[in-house]
Structure 1
Amino acid sequence: MKKEISICWLRRDLRLADNAALYHALKGSNPVLLLFIFDKTILEKLSTKNDARVTFIYQTIEALRKEAAKYGSSVLVLNDTPERAWQKVLKTYNVKNVFANHDYEPYARERDDALAEFLASESIPFKTFKDQVIFEKDEIFKADGKPYTVFTPYFRQWEKKLTSFYKKSYPVSSYLKNLFQTKPFPSLSLNELGFEKSDQDFPSIHFAKKLDEYEKRRDYPGDEATSRIGLHLRFGTVSIREAVREAIEQKADKWLSELVWRDFYMMILWHFPYVSKSCFKPAYDKIEWRNDEQEFKAWCEGKTGYPLVDAGMRQLNEIGFMHNRVRMVVASFLTKHLLIDWRWGETYFAEKLLDYEMASNVGGWQWACGCGNDAAPYFRVFNPELQAKRFDPKHTYIDKWLPEFKQQKHVEPIVEHAFARERVLKVFKDALNQ
């Protein structure tokens, strides 16, 4: 008779330390098998076969397999749709419980609902936990029982509710002896997954050294003062609880607020899943976008004639990252100067960003467009030239990512700022007055 086991399904929590679902699984009565599924439903939609994020996930899983081996265990890695993968797992093992951490994106919710129904038909409990945020779903509500839709009052409540309980790590290491004992499972190669190894460099987790710099110089893209922790938060290679503790211990208030924005946007996506495809403020869906494909191409390639915009797009295309201040400027430029639908830009970022996270990306794009969770009116239009003078006065960032600017070979602007500003104000006003 097969041995009874529990399974901990790793998804956006690719670590053993301080992992909520793994902690609860290991404290149960059955040995715990770690499972990771390369989800074909997601992978088949990727536009390139050397997507750096797949390489990052692959390398991380291989590292987890080595870590698990120290405890006589391994990570079972499958390459399939979740539905077929779980059918295989239940045929192979006598599964008594399944553990996983919450995911808030629409596809993930559908996937988990389907799995819960399937497991229930097999009389297997599916137990899920909060792990990738400090507060989720309805943990922070207004007095009237409704979710906050503006960040500042949400942040106030978030800080009030934060106690040591919410910052505490799960002591997983004390229970790792309860992992399922097995020889290493056969390893899949990237080629077997249908991908090539990317030569992209990935940032290390070094936020603790960066927080002092971040507080002072976070808005200056040429200073390299940001933590670059987004990739690790996205795939759960670092715990949000550890990050929050570091922010508080180092009195890094601005950095802490960025972490809270992440909680906020996850909460918004949970309660208003339509924002993944539509404006949070429905009236903005009436905007008549120009959607000029040649201008969109120029924006994608960093050939708009605005140095800060073009430097940002070149950085994104080259290393899969863009400084946050510049993200706001390029998003504003696409939606306000070129009158191109924010969804076009959001989709392009989704293809390129190593740290792409739907909730934050959609939230950021709608913030820049003016159609999202923002108390400011729609007529905020960033002037890319003034932004460059203020935040890159010595052209450190622009010269690095846009060498033709230094050589005075940069293209002419594809639209004049004052004209673009007047045009977008009229278009937005007309849409909102319908």
Structure 2
Amino acid sequence: MKTIVWFRNDLRLHDHPALKKASECGEVLPVFILPDHTSVTATDWWLYESLKFLQQQLLELGTPLTILKGNPSKRLSILALETQADSLFFNGQIDPVSRKQEMDLLESESLSKVDIQRFEPNMLLDPNRLKTGAGQPYKVFGAFWKSLQQQTIPWPLAAPTSLTSWIQVYPGTIPLEQSGLRSPIDWDASLEEAWTPGETASFEQWGTFRDKKLTRYDTNRDFPAINGTSRLSGYLASGNMSIRSLWHAVRRAQEEGIAPQPEPFLRQLAWREFSYYQLFHFPHITERPLRSEFLHFPWRDDPEGLIAWKKGKTGYPLVDAGMRELWETGTIHNRVRMVVASFLIKHLLIDWRIGSEWFRETLVDYDVANNTLGWQWVAGSGFDAAPYFRIFNPTMQSKKFDKNGAYIRRWVPELDALPDSFLHEPHRAPEETLAEAGVVLGDTYPLPIVDHAAARARALEAYALIKGKKEGST
């Protein structure tokens, strides 16, 4: 049988159900269809590097990767017709855009004679499997986590050891160098210093985390100056790594005594699963709040505040450090990620969807499910979210989680010479202290763009306006 395997957000060989099945059925033609957009994002850089690595992997197994661009249904229909393929296999995705593409494929008349098979997405379980006692989707993470722990997670599939293809070079394939995934401006050099995308790198990063950080994960993960997180999110978001393989690898580390208590990290993997689960059952959440009263929230239009937030010039050192880390490395520490999101939403009253879009452009680990649920959690508009009146004090967060200022000094070097006692709120430092440190507020470092107490009061007032409101009320 001649099978086209459509690669998507699953740029790996291990635990790839569509590829595994196709390799067992006959010849395989791997294909990737480039995203049809003009602006280049951080995830495009990761995608480029992942495709380059996948190309080499597939060639070593005996088949090339065909790269196309355009509407997936149309491009795959033409490809199947011209190559006389018998079947088309792909792993599913759960975001609304991808599900629409899948439906177009399945309903395509030009593919009516082609055996089309959709395999499970990169999730621990089928999202229809876990339901409440009333048969409804879970809306609270705690109950979801309890139910998930009672399930048997399927074992990951082994990678094929060889592949054959009836097409060696498809005439319409696009050279990766002409994919448009790399900007003509050399803006991504810092990303290359921080990351190595690809399947092999994902295994290496897991090994480093397992051996050096997993046992102290729960203790260290909240401190941005400590390299205590897994740094696996980019590999999961791109599909360089299978979530099932990671889950079982953690369990294996537990059995071997490497990580006797891995639940804190497994719980984070479960949060990822919960995000996918929510997006599957409530696909509108990328555009609309889950809690309908937030449809009436009085968001502010604050272009200057938004620019200051993006550039890391808010006058709040922890916020600024996080936003600069994001720009330079394409990622941001999880604790700081919550702080900067809270600042945009609750200190500036800027719509969470604007922040979500900036993260889409700048994160190498951008994941529509994780990103959406994260922003809705901070906004308080999700089903299981932080209450809106929980407003992070960025100064207190800074003092608690970056006490000695190592994180701030790394990303906001103009404050490096300030003593620890004033590093977290330079606007309160005496003039002589600022002068000794070479800090000129409003010049070398900005004054706070908003007062915390005033911003908190304004946010609570805005929240009070929507309490009790539901969709359709006025």
TM normalised by structure 2 equals: 0.84
Could you report, residue by residue, the CA deviation over 1:11-44 in whole angstroms, capped at 9, with x for unpaired residues?
011011221111122222x31211111132xx33
- In structure 1, the partner of 2:23 is 26
Letter of the structure 1 residue corresponding to residue 141 of structure 2: F
Q: Which amino acid aligns with 2:228?
A: A
Counterpart-to-counterpart distance in 1, 2:125 and 2:110: 28
Please point out which of 449, 457, 472 is paired with 1:414. 449
What's 1:36 paired with?
A: 32
Counterpart of 2:164 in structure 1 is 179
Identity over the aligned pairs, expressed in percent? 33
Amino acid at match of 1:340: I
**For structure 1, which segment, 113-122 or 323-332, has the greater mean C-alpha deviation from structure 2 after superposition?**
113-122
Read off the aligned partner of 1:100 and give its amino acid letter.
F
Letter in 1 for 2:243: I
Q: CA RMSD in A?
A: 1.9
SS in 1 for 2:225: helix
How far 1:193 moved relative to its partner?
3.0
Distance 2:327 2:416 in 1: 20
| Aligned: 1:430 with 2:433 | no
Structure 2 counterpart SS, 1:366: helix
State how far apart, in whole Å, the 1-side matches of 2:181 and 2:224 are: 36
Q: Residues 5-404 of structure 1: matches in 2 within 5 Å? A: 5-28=2-25, 30-40=26-36, 43-44=37-38, 46=39, 48=40, 51-118=41-108, 121-161=111-151, 163=152, 166-173=153-160, 176-183=161-168, 188-193=175-180, 195-196=182-183, 198-199=188-189, 200-201=191-192, 202-203=195-196, 204-205=201-202, 206-210=205-209, 211-248=214-251, 249=253, 250=259, 251-374=261-384, 376-404=386-414
One-letter code aligned to 1:38: L
Amino acid at match of 2:156: S
Q: In structure 2, what is the Cα distance between the partners aligned to 1:99 and 1:236?
A: 17
Structure 2 spans left out of the alignment, 5+ residues? 254-258, 418-438, 470-474
Q: 1:375 to 1:238 in 2, by over 3 A?
A: closer
The answer as to whether partners of 1:247 and 1:253 remain within 8 angstroms in 2 is no
- Cα offset for 1:331? 0.6
Question: Which digits, 9 at most, give the CA deviation of each residue in 1:404-431, with x for residues without a partner?
Answer: 2225343111111111111111111111
| Distance change in 2, residues 1:315/1:236 (3 Å) | same
Contact 2:47–2:181 under 8 Å retained in 1: no
Q: Conserved in 1, the CA contact under 8 Å of 2:63 and 2:163?
A: no
Q: Does the 8 Å CA contact 1:79/1:193 hold for their aligned counterparts?
A: no
Q: Could you state the TM-score of these two structures normalised by the residue count of structure 1? A: 0.91
Q: Distance in 2 between matches of 1:91 and 1:246?
A: 41
The 3 A distance-change label for structure 1 pair 350 and 170 is same
* More moved, 237-246 vs 152-161: 237-246
In structure 1, the gaps of 5 or more residues are: none
Contact 1:119 1:126 in 2 (8 A): no
Q: What whole-Å deviation, never above 9, does each CA across 1:51-95 have from its counterpart, x for those lacking one?
A: 343232223222222222223211111133313322330232112
SS in 2 for 1:172: coil
Name the residue aligned to 2:426: none
Alignment partners' CA distance in 2, 1:375 and 1:287? 16
User: Counterpart amino acid of 1:98?
Assistant: L
- CA–CA distance in structure 2, aligned partners of residues 311 and 207 of structure 1: 26
Q: Give the distance between the partners of 2:207 and 2:145, measured in 1 at CA.
A: 22
Contact 1:304 1:413 in 2 (8 A): yes
Number of aligned residues: 419
Secondary structure of the structure 1 residue equivalent to 2:86: strand
1:106 deviation in Å? 0.9
> Structure 1 residues 376 and 316 mapped into 2: Cα distance closer, same or farther (>3 Å)?
closer
SS at match of 1:143: coil
Secondary structure, counterpart of 1:222 in structure 2: coil
1:91-119 alpha-carbon deviations (Å, 9 max, x no partner): 32112111111101111111111011116
CA-to-aligned-CA distance 1:315-357 (integer Å, 9 cap, x gap): 1111111000001000111111111111110111111101001
Q: Which amino acid aligns with 1:179?
A: T
Task: State the alpha-carbon separation in 1 of the partners of residues 56 and 45 from structure 2.
Answer: 17
Letter in 1 for 2:236: L
Shift of the 398–97 alpha-carbon distance from structure 1 to 2, 3 Å rule, reads same
